[in-house]
Structure 1
Amino acid sequence: MDKDINILAIESSCDETAAAVVRNGREVLSNIIASQIDIHKKFGGVVPEVASRKHIEVINAVTQEAIEASKMRMQDIDAVAVTYGPGLVGALLVGLQYAKGLAYALKKPFIGVNHIEGHISANFIEHKDLEPPFVCLVVSGGHTFIVYMKDYGVFETIGETRDDAAGEAYDKVARAIGLGYPGGPKIDKLSKEGNEQAIYFPRASFHDDSLDFSFSGLKSSVLNYINKMEMKGEEINKADVAASFQKSVVDVLTENVIRTCKLKKVDRIAIAGGVASNSRLRQELIAAGEKNNISVLFPSPILCTDNAAMIGSAAYFEYIKGVRSSLDINAMPNLKLGER
């Protein structure tokens, strides 16, 4: 396609209100994020109703800021894209309805984007020459997947969590040892002061040779350890708990994604999602990649957390294939990767 394609993208699936302008799927002209972390900290996690109300309050200002920062005019945008699932239904609806209104008013094409596909596409922004096929490990607060990306927009899910996502387990363990929300960065930081060999926590595996994950047993094991220590009146070394828990999570994530590369005979792993910022995960994956002659790619931290630039990237590859969404499209909180 000779003409540059500029897409205005909106993301509101959880507790970040975000808007971005992305050119040709890989160049970010603006990427504005209004985070609600400080609002939800006092609740120990995201409260859906509070998140929805905050999205309503700021979405117009965030979108206008994204347009201004891009140095473009609203009427020069080629298409409007938005996350329509998965996520919190109320939060999704705020962004979805706002984006529909914009597309209708501007008479521009409208594209609904899968949030998980957005996380994967963040790697196209960070790594300009990246092209499928490759394996992607998606690890965030609500999602843990191993995906084989055959082509742009064409995915095969190889493994996924059967219960808690890795990020959920981080949050619950962080709460149990008194670190608060959000748990991932806090455990990552504290674990640097601990001994990851101090306590053995289980790694779930399945007899059917599946590459799925399960973190609920690990979470329960950590909670049981804490309860036993408290019942015996013994002091809990929080840093050791954090480091040992994190090692268990990282070990199984690393093992399964390396196995997937060997299964699919590919030599590139792209990491996506909020937990992709975890320092221990990055360290272990890079080491395992070097050992197995597999390159490991990470987005910048700003592209790991929820943002609209990743949605704009994913939308571009749909746009050039001729994919358009109806203005009747509804929020789909349980949308699966590859579904439309």
Structure 2
Amino acid sequence: MLKYFFTLLLAFSAAWGPVARAESVLFLSPGGTNENFWVSYAQFMRAAADDLGIDLQVLYSDRMPELTLAQARQALQGPHRPDYLIFVNEQYVAPQILRLAQGSGVKLFMVNATLTDNQKSLLGERPDLLGSLVTNDEEGGYLMLKELIRQHPPAAPGQVIELLAFSGLKITPSAHLREQGMYRALAEHPEVRLRQLVYSGWIRQRAYEQARMLFQRYPKVTLVWSANDEMAFGAMQAYSEVGGVPGKDALFSAVNNSPLALQAKVDGRLSVLVGGHFTLGGWALVEVHDHELGVDLSRHGGRDRMIALLQVIDQTQAKRLLAMKTSTDYQVDFRRLSAKGRPASYRYPFSMLTLMH
């Protein structure tokens, strides 16, 4: 009887073929579990993974590149290797990760910050590097300051509008690009004077401590540009403590779609909010899953792509995004975005419009 059962089981297996196995993906997040952006980023990836049937694991490194590299080493050279590794060139760790991946059999995909031109020339072509998705960071920094200036009353004759700027880390590509965008907008508005730009490391407490001194040093500042929401909140706290009202006495801006930032936009405390790039990891999973299905990614917009996700978010959009964050699937059918079986003219519709259909 037992022999008959095993014969039947073998026949059944042969008829149906091997059981499909979900591809495993490890995402190395450069942030921490206390950072709203990287938490929402992972949540969107989780929604995509659940929809696509991907086995997703996320590891955080709390802004410590040495921890990112230790995680990469374990994943790429340890006994339990993922099929795909998704990572960020935060603090320019990509060359070390690519060296660790050599011969590992793990396929690589980069998000948010990809290889610099100098790194590309040194590293050359890597067949295991499937591609990358980044966003329009330079344009995001530009749009943010342009909108701040648009909302500000015109400068009186012979007067200037004073600006403070809070950036992330000097060795973070996204911070550098957002600063470039800010300087491009400044060049178009000679009536705006940048009093000082400081590096707050993306951290609220550090921005708060810096802002306490800066608002005393520059009491006439009425525009505050911040490269993320955490630093904006630190600066807003310091401004409130010296008697100012954010959104009234000075206009503040931020990047990100955290619930706190969205609520601050709805309430009017944040005058300008730019966001949308928390979706990059989820969109990357669509491409990774397509590669697993045999799709040639280069046929549908190129292996390395920049998506204009960063855009100015108004109060109505902020309310819609706030409501959406209570849903675990973001009301996006990720499977329908696949390029599988589509003509070469098909382009992945990765945008805020897809999210807010």
Which TM-score band applies after superposition, normalised by the shorter structure?
A: 0.3 to 0.5
Of structures 1 and 2, the larger Rg is shown by 2
Q: Which protein has greater RCO, CA pairs closer than 8 Å, 6+ apart?
A: 1
Q: TM-score, normalised by structure 2?
A: 0.34
Q: TM-score, normalised by structure 1?
A: 0.35
